[in-house]
Structure 1
Amino acid sequence: MAVRHLVSLDDLTDDDLRGIVARGAELSSGRAAPGGSLEGTVAGIYFRRTSTRTRTAFSAGALRLGARLVTFSGSDLQTNTGETSEDTGRVFSRMLDVLVARTADDPAELRAWAGQSRMSVVNAMTADEHPTQGLTDLTTLLRHFGRIEGLRVLYLGEGNNTAAALALGLSRFPGTVLELRTPEGYGLRADVAVRAAASAAAHGAAVVERHDTDDLPEDVDVVYTTRWQTTGTSKPDPGWRARFEPFRVTRALWRRSPKAVFLHDLPAHRGEEVTAEVLDGDRSIAFDQAENKMHSAMAVLEWCRGGVRP
């Protein structure tokens, strides 16, 4: 059985990406039962940082697929007494079939652990990218609209790891347009912007970023935001909130796009990045999106173990 790793969405071929998203949407719709495709496997769930949705999604998803779980927190391992990360990864690979890990800001540690052919490694979020969130978002779009091609998405807020995954994933579907409005100094990382632009050019999509809220586009299909204080990070600028205030998602946006749905990767802070009226309103599918993280996680786990064909 081929062992597959997901550290970045760039690790996936177009067929892999579409296959995972289609399988996640199929599971979400209830048209197919999860089955026992991970029966007899052992999944490690290792989170050094806080998590509600991603940790629960992969834990519940693995159990629903028939796997058994071993869970670790940041204080459980001998890395706290001086064991090297490399040795820890080597031990994991001798005992686990899949490792879902949220470790440090730098993905290099996960890349090192993925340098073997025994155990699949899944990135459950690093500072630069949140690939499983990107797959969740694409699954949610496919489930809601029945297609991803041609959708127009307006993203407001920080160009964080969720925005990076959205740009890298959505840009691989022809006709899609992603317009990011991010505060000055808080946009997409330069390398992510370059990769997303190259992907968009190759697939007939568009990724555009501006640092203001003037002339927002009309008739978009989706309005998306994330919390202003990304999990596990802090901002060195004490006045950062003033920069973010104009990017709050309010009901007024829907005058420009009355049919748009609202997405949020959660957790949300009502009254900061989004008003309660929007998050809890009839255009919000943010909690369907959260549920789809489990369906998408199952699709990722199946793909890691050799399943999910194009």
Structure 2
Amino acid sequence: MRNLISLSDLTSEELGRIVRRAVAFGRGDVEEKPLSGHRVGIYFRKSSTRTRTSFWSGATRLGADVITFGPDELQISTGETLEDTARVLGEYLDALVVRTNEDVGEIRRLGSSPKLAVVNALTLDEHPTQAIADLATLTEEFGDLAGRHVLCVGEGNSSGGALALAAALTPGLQLTLLGPEGYEVPQETLDLVDKLSDGRALVSQVTSADEVTGPVDVVYTSRWQTMGVSKANPDWLADFEGFQINREFFDRFAGPDTVFLHDLPAVRGQEVTDEILDGERSLSWRQAHHKMTAAMAVLEWCVVGAGA
């Protein structure tokens, strides 16, 4: 069994293999049932529409039996340690998909059983399967990602952090993180990006659109309130003035083939306008589809080690 808790645990080759498999699943290449006879648990401590459903759908399409757990349905809620829970679940399940709003350490403790593959379906600091879905969407659209430039706009949240790690493991992919001062991707994540790439990553972080050199191939944004968590500053929305992806912003950095991505859910009229989210350049809905293909590729890789 193999865990996928952070993209930083993967090699560039492993990430590339998982992404290619997700793209293949997106073409409908699911004739075999590699997870037939295997059992997958889905344990979400926070709300989810796409990620929880995509893991359920992906696992069942691959032939697995699936059980879901709500936030208070495991004995963790009554005081059992994460390690003891993992040890027991390893006797019943082959994989456990976990979403929490804590740091990644909690999921690493659940990943302590050698009999149980654990998948990070979002923590406070990283959303690895979202980044895999993003790369699958862009690979399907552009092919080789070397030389492509992604502009990721908004809060430096778990999706932005994961995308930075993914870019570090994808040779030649340029990523510019643009967000208001005080809402950036944490420096420790950028330090990890540098370490993963041996200093060769084309990842930068800026706080003004004037610092971005265009045109770019991709304009990406996400919800400014990740998981709907309130911010300490009651006037935080004022800090994001000028970061909405509207027609003027998109056209400022777009070339003839530039596409738009959003990891969803979207707060329409806040971080993005309807015109952009529903426009002909938007791949957001195909990106949502690839959340399922990414889940399939990750589960296959973790449980049976497959993937080309």
TM-score, length-scaled by structure 1: 0.95
Segment drifting more, 124-133 vs 251-260: 251-260
1:19 aligned partner:
17
SS in 2 for 1:155: strand
- Opposite residue 125 of structure 1, the aligned amino acid is L
- State the 1:87 CA deviation: 2.1
Q: State the partner residue of 2:202.
A: 206
In 1: Cα distance, 2:137 partner to 2:118 partner: 24
Could you say what secondary structure the match of 1:95 adopts? coil
Q: Which segment is superposed worse, 80-89 or 70-79?
A: 80-89
Matched position secondary structure for 2:150:
strand
Distance 1:89 1:225 in 2: 35
CA distance in 2, matches of 1:274, 1:178: 20
1:145 pairs with one of 132, 142, 145: 142
2:68 counterpart SS class = strand
Report the counterpart of residue 67 of structure 1 in structure 2: 64
Aligned residues of 1:23 and 1:308 also touching (Cα < 8 A): no
**CA offset at residue 131 of structure 1?**
0.5
Could you say which residue in structure 1 is the equivalent of 2:151? 154
Residue of structure 2 equivalent to 1:293:
291
Instruction: Determine the structure 2 residue equivalent to 1:239.
Output: 235
- 1:85 maps to 82
Classify the secondary structure of the residue corresponding to 1:18. Answer: helix
Q: Aligned residue for 2:7?
A: 9
Q: How does 1:1-310 map to 2 (within 5 A)?
A: 3-30=1-28, 32-202=29-199, 204-231=200-227, 233-252=229-248, 253-258=250-255, 259-309=257-307
Return the offset for 1:112: 1.2
What is the TM-score when the length of structure 2 is the normalising length?
0.95
Which whole-Å deviations, capped at 9, do the CAs of 1:136-191 have from their partners, x for residues lacking one? 11111101111211110111100110000000001222222111111110001111
Q: Does the 8 Å contact 2:12/2:169 carry over to 1?
A: yes
Give me the whole-angstrom Cα distance separating, in 2, the residues matched to 1:209 and 1:97: 39
Query: 3-state SS of the aligned residue for 1:179?
Result: strand
Task: Say whether the 8 Å CA contact 2:42–2:67 is kept in structure 1.
Answer: yes
Q: What CA deviation, in whole Å up to 9, does each residue of 1:44-66 have, x standing for no partner?
A: 01101001111011100000000
The residue type paired with residue 219 of structure 2 is: V
Instruction: Give the Cα separation in 2 of the matches to 1:241 and 1:200.
Output: 34
- Separation of aligned partners in 1, 2:158 and 2:31: 29
Could you report, residue by residue, the CA deviation over 1:47-96 in whole angstroms, capped at 9, with x for unpaired residues? 01001111011100000000001110012122333333332222111111
Deviations 1:268-301 (A, max 9, x none): 0111000110000000000000001101110001
Aligned-partner residue type, residue 265 of structure 1: D
Q: Work out whether residues 29 and 143 of structure 1, in 8 Å CA contact, stay in contact via their aligned partners in 2.
A: no
Whole-angstrom distance in 2 between the partners of 1:146 and 1:309: 18
> Contact conserved, 2:223 with 2:271, CA < 8 A, in 1?
yes
Instruction: Pick closer, same or farther for the CA change 1:48–1:34 going to 2, 3 Å.
Output: farther
The alpha carbon displacement at 1:201 in A equals 4.7
Q: Is contact 2:148-2:174 (8 Å) kept?
A: yes
Letter in 2 for 1:70: I
Corresponding residue SS for 2:276: helix
Structure 1: distance between partners of 2:238 and 2:31? 46
Aligned to 1:292, what secondary structure does the other structure show? helix
* SS class of match (2:112): coil
Deviates more, 1:101-110 or 1:58-67: 101-110
Deviations 1:180-222 (CA, angstroms, capped at 9, x unpaired): 11111000111101112333455x4411111122253222100
Q: Distance in 2 between matches of 1:303 and 1:79?
A: 27
| Equivalent-residue separation in structure 2 for 1:79 and 1:296 (angstroms) | 28
What's the Cα RMSD here?
1.5
Q: Is the 8 A contact 1:302 1:308 kept in 2?
A: yes
Structure 2 CA distance, aligned partners of 1:239 and 1:96? Answer: 45
The 1:81–1:174 alpha-carbon spacing in structure 2 relative to 1, beyond 3 Å, is: closer
- Aligned-partner SS, 2:261: strand
2:8 and 2:196 in contact (8 A); partners too: no
- Unpaired runs of 5+ residues, structure 1, are none
Give me the whole-angstrom Cα distance separating, in 2, the residues matched to 1:84 and 1:309: 33
